């Protein structure tokens, strides 16, 4: 195709050549055009050999959705002034969760603003935004986030907040107590409330994003400092609740695809089996069980001969991914430590999991792209394939894992035909039509029932 500008008829004929299935990806309201059309890679049912695995972080590798949902709900609570569960029950899992998991933060916030803006109180919105902005500038660790906050302050002419004397005093504190928070909120609100004459939908979205991130990052920072137990108690009333865990099967699948499961196959297999039975409530018949065991050992041996490249592909920003992956690799190490008897094999394996950078060949986050190009757009997965140096003719030897609708679309939009959905409770309401397979039994099912879609010879 040499022409650079074509008419509708020519465009139609070109699009037809691109494939049989397309995804319609709606853009945020401030973007032209209203939507993009993505030709999707043809679904691939099985492969003879895999060369790479690309996978989502939240909801696929780890369970951080709990904290994200909490932070989104917190934003709605702040904007409406309904802080406790007596004044508002909270988000509706069935109705709301499909719209606030797995997409970009902008889309999640847009949905909530559209649905709940009737209950918002302008003064509460302004107050919570000003506090979130100040907190981000003082305690935030992500520079991109800080510059977005400054941009939002500028759009309301409040940028002198940064040079304010009171603000400068706070900047020297290492942490804010509840009464400090209240004082700061009141002070900023009284000083700047009149700068916000009228607020439109886009303003609500931008301010909502800042309030969401402030809450989420404040929690992550405390996790980084080792305060997980206190947060679990404060937010969920249970100090033993793990805020960040590995998704079922992850502690086996990750070492397996890197060819690291070379001993104790039975222990790894039984671990997977338990996870499968727990997740599905189903059991294997004796014949199927022995077949699955034999296949599992063969699969481990295949990966031992040809380990595959791996990438995490997340719409989260790097700051978040870094803390979450550190935490989840600690959890994986712990689980492997409990699973295996002491040996050189175990020590070598644990070394590999002492730092996620030893393990992954690429980490792709929202910082590698832009907020307007996150999943379901193909960009993050295309960047991952590029970083892993997978040739285009090998895209049909790549497997992608996602728990959400937009993620499964993004995988196929990037040219990967083996797009596996591993939904869990929070994403069970998603439309997963774009996925090649939907495995409700998660990764244990992918391995035990489907042999990771690798043909066994
Ligand atoms: Mg996800």
Report the first-to-last Cα separation within the chain, whole angstroms: 42
**What are the pLDDT digits (tens) for 381-418?**
999 999 999 999 999 999 999 999 999 999 999 999 99
Ligand 1 centre to CA of 168 (Å) is 38
Ligand 1 centre to CA of 403 (Å) is 5
Ligand 1 centre to CA of 238 (Å) is 24
pLDDT number for residue 376: 94
By 3-state DSSP, what share of the chain in percent is helix, strand and coil, each rounded to 5? Answer: 60, 10, 35
Distances (CA, A) of 409 to 57, 185, 189, 375, 376: 16, 41, 42, 8, 6
Question: What element of type H or E holds 408?
Answer: helix 405-413
The Cα–Cα gap between 367 and 347 comes to 34
Ligand 1 centre to CA of 409 (Å) is 12
Token pair recorded at residue 258? 């890197």
Q: How much of the chain exceeds pLDDT 90, in percent?
A: 80
Ligand 1 centre to CA of 328 (Å) is 15
The Cα–Cα gap between 371 and 375 comes to 9
Closest of 315, 340, 328, 324 to residue 254, by C-alpha: 328
Beta strands 35-39 and 22-26: pairing type? antiparallel
Ligand 1 centre to CA of 405 (Å) is 9
Token pair recorded at residue 407? 């993620």
The Cα–Cα gap between 397 and 415 comes to 11
The Cα–Cα gap between 79 and 361 comes to 41
> Are the CB atoms for 272 and 447 separated by under 8 Å?
yes
Mean pLDDT of 287-294: 94
Token pair recorded at residue 335? 């689980």
**What are the pLDDT digits (tens) for 238-286?**
988 888 999 999 999 999 999 999 999 999 999 999 999 999 999 999 8
Ligand 1 centre to CA of 339 (Å) is 27
Ligand 1 centre to CA of 59 (Å) is 4
Ligand 1 centre to CA of 60 (Å) is 6
Ligand 1 centre to CA of 91 (Å) is 19
pLDDT number for residue 243: 86
Ligand 1 centre to CA of 244 (Å) is 13
pLDDT number for residue 1: 66
DSSP letters for 351-371: HHTS-HHHH-SEEE-GGGS-G
The Cα–Cα gap between 411 and 407 comes to 6
Asked whether residue 457 carries a pLDDT value surpassing 70, the answer given is no
Ligand 1 centre to CA of 150 (Å) is 29
Residue 385's CB is within 10 A of a number of other CB atoms, namely 26
**What are the pLDDT digits (tens) for 40-70?**
999 999 999 999 999 999 999 998 888 999 9
**What are the pLDDT digits (tens) for 5-49?**
999 999 999 999 999 999 999 988 889 999 999 999 999 999 999
Token pair recorded at residue 12? 């139609």
DSSP letter at 117 equals: G
Give the mean pLDDT of the chain.
93
Token pair recorded at residue 160? 């002198």
Ligand 1 centre to CA of 170 (Å) is 36
Ligand 1 centre to CA of 260 (Å) is 26
Ligand 1 centre to CA of 175 (Å) is 31
pTM of the model: 0.88
The Cα–Cα gap between 226 and 230 comes to 9
Ligand 1 centre to CA of 342 (Å) is 34
> Are the CB atoms for 252 and 356 separated by under 8 Å?
no
* φ, ψ at 119 (rounded to 5°): -90, 0
Ligand 1 centre to CA of 269 (Å) is 26
Does the domain at 52-63+245-453 match CATH 3.40.50.1000? Answer given as: yes
Token pair recorded at residue 60? 């696929």
Alpha helices, DSSP H, located in 140-285: 143-155, 165-171, 178-192, 201-224, 228-236, 250-257, 265-280
Ligand 1 centre to CA of 164 (Å) is 40
Asked whether residue 312 carries a pLDDT value surpassing 70, the answer given is yes
The pLDDT-based confidence of 193 (bands split at 50, 70, 90) is very high
Between helix 65-80 and helix 105-116 the angle, nearest 10°, is 40
Ligand 1 centre to CA of 433 (Å) is 16
Ligand 1 centre to CA of 396 (Å) is 22
Ligand 1 centre to CA of 268 (Å) is 25
Alpha helices, DSSP H, located in 237-264: 250-257
Question: What element of type H or E holds 36?
Answer: strand 35-39
Give the position of tokens 């338990």.
274
Annotated domain spans of the chain: 8-39, 52-63+245-453, 65-236
The backbone region for 442, taken as left when phi is positive above 0, alpha when psi lies in -120 to 50, beta otherwise, is left
Ligand 1 centre to CA of 94 (Å) is 17
């Amino acid at each position: 195709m040499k022409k650079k500008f074509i008419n509708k008829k020519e465009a139609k004929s070109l699009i037809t050549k691109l494939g049989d299935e397309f995804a319609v990806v709606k853009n945020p309201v401030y973007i032209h055009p209203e939507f993009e059309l993505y030709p999707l890679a043809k679904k691939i049912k099985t492969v003879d050999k895999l060369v790479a695995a690309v996978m989502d972080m939240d909801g696929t590798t780890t369970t951080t959705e709990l904290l994200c949902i909490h932070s989104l709900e917190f934003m709605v609570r702040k904007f409406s002034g309904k802080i406790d569960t007596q004044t508002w029950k909270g988000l509706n899992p069935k109705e709301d969760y499909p719209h606030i998991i797995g997409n970009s933060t902008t889309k999640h916030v847009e949905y909530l603003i559209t649905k709940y803006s009737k209950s918002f109180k302008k003064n509460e919105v302004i107050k919570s935004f000003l506090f979130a902005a100040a907190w981000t500038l003082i305690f935030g660790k992500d520079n991109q986030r800080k510059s977005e906050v400054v941009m939002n302050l500028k759009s309301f002419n409040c940028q002198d907040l940064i040079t304010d004397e009171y603000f400068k005093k706070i900047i020297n504190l290492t942490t804010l107590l509840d009464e400090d928070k209240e004082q700061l909120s009141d002070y900023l609100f009284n000083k700047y409330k009149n700068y916000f004459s009228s607020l439109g939908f886009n303003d609500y979205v931008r301010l909502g994003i800042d309030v969401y991130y402030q809450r989420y990052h404040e929690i992550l920072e405390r996790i980084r400092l080792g305060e997980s137990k206190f947060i679990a108690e404060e937010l969920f009333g249970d100090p033993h609740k793990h805020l960040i865990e590995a998704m079922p099967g992850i502690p086996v699948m990750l070492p397996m695809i890197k060819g690291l499961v070379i001993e104790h196959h039975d222990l790894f297999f039984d671990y997977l089996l338990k996870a499968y039975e727990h997740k599905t409530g189903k059991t294997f018949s004796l014949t199927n069980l022995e077949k699955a065991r034999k296949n599992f050992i063969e699969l481990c041996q295949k990966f031992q001969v040809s380990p595959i490249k791996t990438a995490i592909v997340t719409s989260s920003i790097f700051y978040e991914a870094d803390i979450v992956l550190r935490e989840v690799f600690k959890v994986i190490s712990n689980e492997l430590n409990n699973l295996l008897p002491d040996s050189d094999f175990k020590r070598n394996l644990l070394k590999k999991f002492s730092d996620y950078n030893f393990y992954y060949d690429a980490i792709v986050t929202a910082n590698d792209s832009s907020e307007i190009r996150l999943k379901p757009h193909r960009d993050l997965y295309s960047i991952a394939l590029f970083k892993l140096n997978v040739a285009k003719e090998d895209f049909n030897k790549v497997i992608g894992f996602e728990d959400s609708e937009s993620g499964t679309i993004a995988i196929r939009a990037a040219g990967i035909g083996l797009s596996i959905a591993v939904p869990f409770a929070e994403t069970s309401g998603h439309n997963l039509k774009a996925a090649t397979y939907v495995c409700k039994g998660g990764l244990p099912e992918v391995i035990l029932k489907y042999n990771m879609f690798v043909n066994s010879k």
